[in-house]
Amino acid sequence: MDQPKKPARREFLQLAGRSAAAGIAIGAAPTYANDPAVPPKTDSSSGRVAVSLIVNGEARTLLVEPRTTLLGALREELSLTGTKKSCDRGECGACTVHVEGRRVLSCMALVAMQDGKHVTTIEGVERDGQLHALQSAFIEHDAFQCGFCTSGQIMSGIAMIEEAKAGWPSAATSNVARRFAVGDLTNAEIRERMSGNLCRCACYPNIVDAVAQAAKRS
């Protein structure tokens, strides 16, 4: 009996490729728990995902590429350019924003992972035309030169003061057994807690003074 002819290597690869493509096409259609009322979370034609945020008190919905950072979404999708892109590797702190009230390096956070969360940028810090106490202190103490790091410094400083109010110690805290208070914010404490924010203009003494003043006023 004649043995069936085996496909040539090229024919086999072509068959395998067509089968894989068919499998991908079949699996590409997203499912929504069989509920047509649930809006799609993914645009299958472009691979983009829908993300809903509360940004500076305003509800915003974005359709973004899954690898988009929070920094990229804020600057490029929402035109909130007060948050600066500098090192883009989580080292300088210029991109600091607040997510659910805590400081976050937005260049290191995927926006798709912030779905449903509250985000505050430097544009959302002032209230009814009144500067935040730390913004005013930065002006009074001349705590900036080029200004590129300033928005990140201010966002970090605001969150840092709130962390102190919540009793969080730092590496500079001498007695971690005692609950920390905002009145315990010495210059050494402020320098330690703000150490993740770099200033190429070396305005550190003025930044420390500004944060100390805002902490006292708070």
pLDDT of residue 14: 59
pLDDT at 48 over 60: yes
User: What type of residue sits at position 51?
Assistant: V
pLDDT in tens, 143-179: 999 999 999 999 999 999 999 999 999 999 999 999 9
Asked if the structure places residue 5 within a domain, the reply is no
Together in a domain, 145 and 210: yes
How far apart CA 162 and CA 100 sit, in angstroms, is 13
How far apart CA 112 and CA 157 sit, in angstroms, is 26
Asked if the structure places residue 210 within a domain, the reply is yes
3-state DSSP helix/strand/coil % of the chain, to nearest 5? 40, 15, 45
pLDDT at 123 over 60: yes
Q: What is the CATH number of the domain that holds 82?
A: 3.10.20.30
Q: How far from the centroid of its chain's Cα atoms is residue 124's Cα?
A: 15
Together in a domain, 162 and 138: yes
Asked if the structure places residue 35 within a domain, the reply is no
Q: How far from the centroid of its chain's Cα atoms is residue 144's Cα?
A: 23
Q: Which residues of 47-84 are buried (b: 16+ CB within 10 A; e: fewer)?
A: ebbebebebbeeebebebeeebbbbbbbbeebebebbb
pLDDT at 37 over 50: no
How far apart CA 48 and CA 64 sit, in angstroms, is 5
Number of domains in the chain: 2
**72 is in which domain, residue-wise?**
44-124
Whether residue 161 contacts residue 209, with contact meaning beta carbons closer than 8 Å, is answered with: no
Q: What is the mean pLDDT of residues 1-5?
A: 54
Together in a domain, 116 and 156: no
Q: What is the three-class DSSP state of 215?
A: helix
pTM (predicted TM-score): 0.79
Please provide the average confidence, as pLDDT, over all residues in the chain: 87
According to DSSP, the residues that pair with 62 across neighbouring strands are 51
Together in a domain, 49 and 120: yes
Q: What is the band of 27 on the pLDDT scale with cuts at 50, 70, 90?
A: very low
Together in a domain, 86 and 154: no
